Structure formats: structure tokens, C-alpha cells
Amino acid sequence: MNRLEQAARRKGGPLLTVSVQRHNPMYVEMVARIGYDVLWIEMEHVTVTFAEATDMCALAQAMGMLVLIRVPNASRDNVLRAAECGPDVIDVPMVNSPEPARELVRHARFGPQGERGHYGSSRAFRYALFDSLVAEHERVNDEICLMAQIETLEAVEAAEDIAQVPGLDALFVGRGDLSSSLGVPGNLTHPKVEEMTDRTLAVAARYGKLTGVPGKTSEYLLWRDKGVTLLLCGSDVAALKTGLQAMMDDYLKALS
């Protein structure tokens, strides 16, 4: 059982997840102390480096959080380098067919499940502080969670085939891009978006896959009842914006 599933079973509901979009150890330490469950290290849309990701991964895990790294795509360079950082989850966006999911598995898992290249000095391998190479490969294969993002109508229609890729553990429904794909950009509560989200979650349940969605903390019970594993509920940018806006609102209120 991978570490994401273990944590979700202990909690009994979705794991509260926040993303970080720049190298910010202070933010990582703060969200860990506040009590969030998972740190989402964003590498698709921003310029976080793998060295920075490794630092934040180590800090978050040392403070009891799980770590997810979202890479830009399932290429060997991206997946293998992310895997060497030692995260609990590797997430690939825009998986519209089974092939990117197969590629993710191929580069992230050791044989016989995949074709991952061995580099024993990385953080993922505890810097070669182990006794048995075979046992270490098995541990890494067992503990890591591989997640594919379903973000388009094409992906929803292919979800059955994607979910059946051997070695793939989870589906994340990217409702923002999905809303655009369905012609209702930004409207995450539109009936079309809700229908396609529920359809994907049903597929995941049918094949025993973990799931994730973006959503508000106030929606926790909703997503818990739908069996969601991971709830992405904020980011460093959103937290900064909210705090700054609140201070400005207090200032303007004092002047009125």
C-alpha cells in the first residue's frame, strides 16, 4: 500500500493539500505546523527546479507531511528526476489517453513493473544507506503513488482505459481545465463539470484507484462522501493574496 493511501486511511477522509509555486522553505514549514497533510510542489506552470523541489520535499516530509510533485509531462527526464527527489506522489497533467500513464509508470517504477533507471545515491534511495538493492527497489515501488490528471472531455471519455494501466494508482480530476474543455471556463459547479467529475470518480472507484480534486476546505464533507483521497485547497500565492487583501480591507475600513 503506497504512502498516500496509508495516510488517507488513517485520516478517514480527503487529505488537505496546499501547493507551493516557488522555493519557499518558510511557507513549507508554516503549512506543516498549521496541520496540512500534503505539500503539492508545482513544476508544470512555474520555474521551481529539481534541486529546490528536493529541499522542500525533505523539509515537508521531516515535518510529517506527504509530498506530491507535479511534473510538466511524463517524459523520462521529468519523471525520473522528480522520483529521485523522494516524493510520495508523482502527478502528470493532461493525460488524455493511456500512453502518458504508461510512460509515467515506465519511468517511475523499477522492473518488472517499469524500466526506471537506478541511481543509488539519490534522496529516494536514502543516499545508498540500505543493505539490499532488491529490497530497496521493492520498497520504492510499493511506497510511491503515481497519479494521472483527467482534465479534458477527451480524458474523461478515455478514463476507463487510463484507469486500467498497470502500475497507475490515482486519478486527479483537474476541474479548472475540464471546465474550459466543456465550454464553461471557470465554472466548476456547472452541471457539465459536476457530471464529468462524478463520472471520473466512479471509474476510479470501479478500478480501485485513489482520487484527487481541487476544492475549498468548506467542501470537505462533500468530497469525503464522494470518496476523494486528496483535496487541493490552496496555494502560497492564494494565501499571500488573501492575507494582503485582508490587510488592505482593514485599512480601508478604518478610513471610512
Domain with residue 111: its CATH number is 3.20.20.60
How far apart CA 153 and CA 182 sit, in angstroms, is 7
Q: Does the pLDDT at position 120 exceed 90?
A: no
How far apart CA 90 and CA 98 sit, in angstroms, is 16
Which residues, 6 or more positions from 103, have their beta carbon under 8 angstroms from its beta carbon?
A: 74, 75, 79
pLDDT at 130: 84
Structurally, the chain folds into a number of domains equal to 1
Residue showing cell 475600513: 253
Q: 68-118, pLDDT tens digit by residue? A: 999 999 999 999 999 999 999 999 999 999 999 999 999 999 999 999 998
Q: pTM for this structure?
A: 0.95
Q: 6-51, pLDDT tens digit by residue? A: 999 999 999 999 999 999 999 999 999 999 999 999 999 999 999 9
- Best CA proximity match to 170, nearest among 111, 227, 216: 227
Domain coverage including residue 141:
3-255
Q: Does the pLDDT at position 121 exceed 90?
A: no
Residue type, 92: V
